[in-house]
Structure 1
Amino acid sequence: MTTEPTTAAPEAKAELPLESGISIGTTISVPDQFIEAMREGLTATAVHNAVKEAVLTTWGATALHEDVKVHDLEHFLPCRRRARGTMSTAYVTPFAQYATAYADPGAAVFVDAEHMAATAVLDLGTKETPGHTDHRAKLQPTKTAAYQALLVINGRAQGQQQLAEFVEDWNITAQMKFFNSEGEIQTGKALAAIRRITVENLRKVDSEEQQLSANRTAFESVKATSQEPIPTLIYYTCKPYADLAARTFVLRLSILTSDKAPSLVPRIQNLEEHVEAMGNELATLVQDAIKGAMPVLLGSYSKGG
């Protein structure tokens, strides 16, 4: 049997489509912009993965290139990831309503009695899961007009006309009463005494001459009088803040006679005690309004670094 020699199969050759215009062995030149775009895409992906990994780990930190910026995409989401912001009011009731409605576990209220203010840190958190403490409610009571007017004249010299007009303006709102060492003075007589004050300046010189000595003594006295009894104490009763109870402030009235015309200086007695008592009253009001929904502490709170 005769065997015919086999012919080797022709070698397969890959051919590119004619429309590609690229032949085998051709070097392709890619624009630098394309390469840079690819690098930026890879960098962005790496940054995204690094930030995601950092958030999910305990440490929450990662190393990024200085030119890379992390963008917050929360405003593209259907809702915010968590509540934050500050609610401010001058009244206890809305402060307590907001604080109790939006408090997270671990929330607390801090009452700064010295500055008449309260802050509810609603996302304070717990020891195990501390919060960001950027969701708060602030209570800052505002002084009433009568109390503010009283503080304006406290310890400041007033002319006769100024003090008389102050009494006339605030007598009904603040329920003012006038006293001296002899008892209470009617408002009309007290106003008349303030408007008409007589200053008497008396000088007395006592001189003694001896053969070997001489002695001279000078006495000078200034006396302020009026046809009506001059008040030395003014009782000023008003509500210092809207939510606080009415309080009576006692003003001691002094007369300065050094200038051409006499001036009067009203000064609140024991103002510091009033401030302390009002701060404690505010703390009690807040505690009653919160109704045990969260702790109410005396002091202030500031977030650490």
Structure 2
Amino acid sequence: MSLSKEAIQHIESQAIIAAAKPIVIDGGTSVAVLPEAVSLRSLEQYQPLRDRFRGTLRTHSLRDFTKYVAAHDNANQPRPGGFIDQDAMSATVIFNLGEPDHAGHGDDVAVLTLKPTAAYSALQGVVGRALSQKELAEWLEDWLPNLEAQDGETTLQMLQAINAVRRMVIKATSQRDSNVGDFSASRSAMDEIEAKSQDTLPSAFIFTTVPFEGLDVADIKLRLSVITGRDEPLLKLRWVGEEAQREAFAQEFKDVLEQEVGGLVPLTIGTFSLGK
């Protein structure tokens, strides 16, 4: 009795499957010899429960993130790890990260990304932009409870400051000199353009807000400058000490996380991605 090529290959495949044993390579990697046509299928979807918990939580709420990390603490899982991205104001906790000699799957994750408050977002939307009198006055009116106007060391009433912005006018003055000689003539002209208001124009504003949920209230100083050279003045708000204050927000974010979840998860500054 002769067997076909397909029958022989089938018998060989079955023999390989029956005799297959894991082969451990130096370094701990396990492989097995299997026929080319054999594929592995998970039966997890047919079981009442999953083989292990895995998933990703994404939230903007520091409070909910903290509660989830505290409730998710599981001594049976590999060691967790936490990573703080201060530039993005975000944090990631991998609950089954493990260690180099006892690595976990790293697929049970919680991600926190702080969302700017409405007031802080509004501030970032106008800082550094050239605004018309109407645009700036309306923005000041919208965020009146968060603002304080200053003229040097003097505090101004906000309504007075808003009126000063609305009632600004452009004033132009010219001065010309002429000198004529027998063989030469010279003429110079100096034009001066300045913006003035019938009310005292503030030199700066203090904008008070919580920049992100979970952080403390911050006072942000905005220096007011006027751009002339047009029929109507343009106004610009400059954030005084912007970079230093943003760094302070990031440091405060790290300190808050250390206080809230540092006792549950070791935290590291930086980002992390699992290798394949």
- For the superposition of Structure 1 and Structure 2, which TM-score range results when normalised by the shorter chain? 0.7 to 0.9
Are residue 73 (structure 1) and residue 43 (structure 2) matched?
yes
Cα drift, residue 179 of structure 1: 1.1
| 1:127 matched residue in structure 2 | 100
Give how far 1:53 is off. Answer: 2.3
1:118 equivalenced with 2:91 (yes/no): yes
Deviation at 1:133, TM superposition (A): 1.6
Pairs aligned (count): 272
Deviations, residues 213-261 of structure 1 (Å, cap 9, x unaligned): 4433221211111110111201100111121111111111111223332
The answer as to 2:234 corresponding to 1:260 is no
The one-letter code sitting in structure 2 at the alignment partner of 1:227 is: Q
Correspondent of 1:207 among 173, 178, 183: 178
Maintained 8 Å contact 1:113/1:282? yes
Give the structure 2 partner of residue 19 of structure 1.
none
What is the 5 A alignment of 1:126-275?
A: 126-172=99-145, 174=146, 176-181=147-152, 183-275=154-246
Q: CA deviation at 1:161?
A: 1.3
TM-superposition CA deviations, 1:62-93 (whole Å, max 9, x none): 46565544323322233222222211121223
- Which ranges of structure 1 fall in alignment gaps of 5 or more residues? 1-26
For 2:236, the aligned partner's letter is V
Counterpart Cα distance in 2 of 1:48 and 1:231: 86
Q: CA deviation at 1:136?
A: 1.1
Question: Partners in 2 of 1:86 and 1:212 — Cα distance?
Answer: 87
Distance (Å, rounded) in 1 between the aligned partners of 2:142 and 2:118: 11
Larger radius of gyration: 1
Partner of 1:301: 272
Residue in structure 2 matched with residue 14 of structure 1 by the alignment:
none
Distance 1:198 1:133 in 2: 63
Task: Tell me the equivalent position of 2:53.
Answer: 83
Deviations 1:1-57 (A, max 9, x none): xxxxxxxxxxxxxxxxxxxxxxxxxx89x9x8xx9689558647745864x625899
Measure, in 1, the Cα distance between the counterparts of 2:47 and 2:203: 68
Give the Cα separation in 2 of the matches to 1:111 and 1:154.
27
Give the Cα separation in 2 of the matches to 1:241 and 1:41. Answer: 66
1:159, 1:264 within 8 Å by CA — same for their partners in 2? yes
Which stretch of structure 1 is more off in the superposition, 265-274 or 35-44?
A: 35-44
Q: Are the aligned partners of 2:116 and 2:212 in contact in 1 as well (CA < 8 Å)?
A: yes
Aligned-pair distance for 1:171?
Answer: 0.8
For residues 8 and 98 of structure 2, the distance between their equivalents in structure 1, rounded to whole angstroms, comes to 44
TM-score by length of 1: 0.79
Q: Under a length normalisation based on structure 2, what TM-score does the superposition of the two structures give?
A: 0.86
1:92 is the counterpart of 2:62? yes
Once the 2 structures are TM-superposed, how far is the Cα of residue 262 of structure 1 from its aligned partner?
Answer: 1.6
The one-letter code matched in structure 1 to 2:208 is: T
Deviation string for 1:117-140 (max 9, x for gaps)? 111111110122011222111111
Contact 1:114 1:275 (C-alpha < 8 Å) held by counterparts: no
Q: Distance in 2 between matches of 1:152 and 1:54?
A: 60
| Distance (whole Å) between structure 2 residues aligned to residue 201 and residue 67 of structure 1 | 87
* Contact 1:193–1:227 (Cα < 8 Å) also in 2: yes
Is 243-252 or 211-220 further displaced after alignment?
Answer: 211-220
Distance 1:55 1:150 in 2: 59
- Report the 3-state secondary structure (helix = DSSP H, G, I; strand = E; otherwise coil) of the residue aligned with 1:241: coil
Amino acid paired to 1:53? P
Contact persistence 2:44–2:51 (CA under 8 A) = yes
Contact 2:83 2:93 in 1 (8 A): yes
